[in-house]
Structure 1
Amino acid sequence: MADKYGPIFTVKMGVHQALVVSDWEIAKECLTTNDKVFANRPKTIAIELLGYNYSMVGFSPYGPYWRQARKITTLELLSNHRLEKLKHVRQFEMRTSVKELYEVWSKNKSSGSNKVLVEMKRWFGDVTLNVILKLIVGKRCSDSDEWKKELAIYLEWKW
């Protein structure tokens, strides 16, 4: 396609247009001289409504707000010090979740089968939710918690 259309051209992929650059000099110019233009994300109504008027880090346009949010995220949430400080929460939740899986397997084993069916999407969702809740609220939830079902309905998650 580069032989036919040149070193830089656009391609329509569904409803979106994509820029294709096949020359390293043009790519270097795109990523150095015009990097602010290419750093922005497309603005859509869905992202505006779901992303609280573009205030979420992953969906906000490049600018002073995005730089400040990224700085806070990398320094306060994802720094090595913070991750090391909260490592015990992740380890505890993984141990507890694996122990719960083992208990389910043990109950199933006593009924004559060595296999147990586990929906991994739900299991990973539960582990993630428990880690987040333990970090924020200081409490984990279990399957018997009524508020977990309400939260799942609110977030429209399928547990």
Structure 2
Amino acid sequence: MSIPTNEIALTSRKSLKQLKKLASELSTAIANAHDIYQTLETTLAELERQGLIHGKGYWRERKYFYVYSPAQQGKRRVFRYVGCDPEKIRTIQAAMHRAIEYDELIGQIARMEIFAEQCSRNLTDVLRTLRDFGATNSSNALLRHIDTQPVAELRIDIHNRPT
């Protein structure tokens, strides 16, 4: 069963139109991703500027607030007495919330970098395929010339194989 040539040409035209449409949308999508990345970087810098406290808070006797930082490799966790001043406690808690938000943004940036790397590899493959198609297409004249030349008949004797 063979597909008529006009159907192949029609399908090819549709595919090429779709490819051009996707390519025109590509620069906008990349610019949007870059803007999101820049926004995340700016937000990280702002959070750092405002101050971060990586740690957890707890109350002792429902009156005194303490913060303990997570243990670092080779170091013990650090306990810090904050006191009972409500304003100071709110400031410390805000810094702890900023640290949580900061860590979440770092995760988003890491995922975005992985995604960008995958997209870059995929686009490289697409460009390589299109370049190969272009190289093949430009050499079609040579291939047509070769196809019109008579080819010597090739005979293989399967009974007289070297052992």
Tell me the TM-score normalised to structure 2 length: 0.21
- Quick one: higher RCO (CA 8 Å, sep 6+), 1 or 2? 2
Bigger Rg, which one: 2
Tell me the TM-score normalised to structure 1 length: 0.22
